[in-house]
Amino acid sequence: MVKAIVGANWGDEGKGKITDMLAEESDIIVRFQGGSNAGHTIINDYGKFALHILPSGVFYNHTTSVIGNGVALNIQNLVDEIDSLVKQGVPQPKVLVSDRAQILMPYHILFDQYEEERLGGKSFGSTKSGIAPFYSDKYAKTGFQVNELFDNEDVLKEKVYRVLETKNVLVEHLYHKAPIDPEEIFQELLKYREMIRPFVCDVSVFLRDAIKAGKKILLEGQLGSLKDPDFGIYPMVTSSSTLASYGAIGAGIPGYEIKEVVTVVKAYSSAVGAGEFVSEIFGAEADELRRRGGDGGEFGATTGRPRRMGWFDAVASRYGCRMQGATEVALTVLDVLGYLDELPVCIGYEIDGKVTRDFPATPQLKKAKPVYTTLPGWKTEIRGITKYEDLPENCRNYIEFIEKELEVPITMVSNGPGRHEIIHRRSSLTK
């Protein structure tokens, strides 16, 4: 059975923790899109970790971690991340890499940096991990699949020289930088070949056999619905689809095999990078929430940048759940809100004098003003509570209000950063 775990919002919803927890009862965990720009924070018995390319279920001995064909594969980062885990006492993980995954090249990172530098104040807020240039090359058919590393070396070398011929025109004449040496890139690819060799397999065949054998497979998404290139806050989005349905493509399985979609929703809002954010708050109010938030303050796990903060946005979250095809919701970082007397919730957007509950495209978002309702806070610490009924009444009311707005059952409530600091509940919306 295949289950997907994805984000409903701008990313940073707490997917890492939920994936780590669900991986306990899974056999295989698959990353199906994005790359080293991910930042999934895990706190477990081994310590605290920020994973960037490995799946978040990598800490279990019984699981196999898979890098699917849809991932922007930074080979150096992958190997370094595995080595780092082992050095910190984590057992050697079982990792497989699709032979159809494309390689994130060293010059992709350079191009990311050069373009952000060129754009200056009009930049996209990139993590500078090379993601946009990578996917540009993939769809321009000038990228390199893992299987090409094991092809004839002369063929590989000829392609490197051919690709860099056009790349260097941009490097020299648009960015005014020193040209990239194709021989250096070719030698780097030969190094990559030996680094990745132990992990390479036909992942689609591996997953086909696993499905036939009744294995439990977890597809792990990166970022959230609002960063999807088609359905997010375009153009301030990522470069690969963040939706659960893409998990089938990015892993190499039939779409009908995805039976459940766990969508992670934050109990307040946060975002890294530029783009429309209707419920955003500022000043001391934002600083206090940022300081208390997450598992050590709201700062990007990949960039370290302070996250933009906002109140819970029911319009954006409901849309995010719908686009993911959510079958259930995991509500995270609820424990953070215990200091507040009142909890504003954005329940609509006012655009040109009219209020809508639907999430519009970017030009309309730019004009949107939040419409709030306010719920009473619970003013107490809820960490350590394991039963839903033991939560303060106002806390339960907040959860149930959000559930009604989302129109999707909330089955899990995270009330702390630890692996098992989570409350399972039965929703009245569960069929």
Q: CB under 8 Å to 378, separation ≥6 — which residues?
A: 338, 391, 392, 393, 394, 395, 398
Alpha carbon distances (Å) from 119 to 174, 179, 277: 12, 20, 21
**Cα–Cα dist 349/313, whole Å:** 10
Give me the amino acid identity at 274: A
- Identify whether the C-beta of residue 203 lies closer than 8 Å to the C-beta of residue 16: no
**Cα–Cα dist 66/58, whole Å:** 9
**Cα–Cα dist 79/291, whole Å:** 33
The residues annotated as belonging to the active site are 12, 40
- Identify whether the C-beta of residue 20 lies closer than 8 Å to the C-beta of residue 419: yes
Q: Pairing between strand 258-266 and 2-7?
A: parallel
**Cα–Cα dist 398/377, whole Å:** 8
Encoding tokens for residue 295?
């598992």
Alpha carbon distances (Å) from 279 to 26, 350, 362, 395: 36, 12, 15, 21
Burial of 45 (0-12, 13-18, 19+ CB in 10 A): exposed
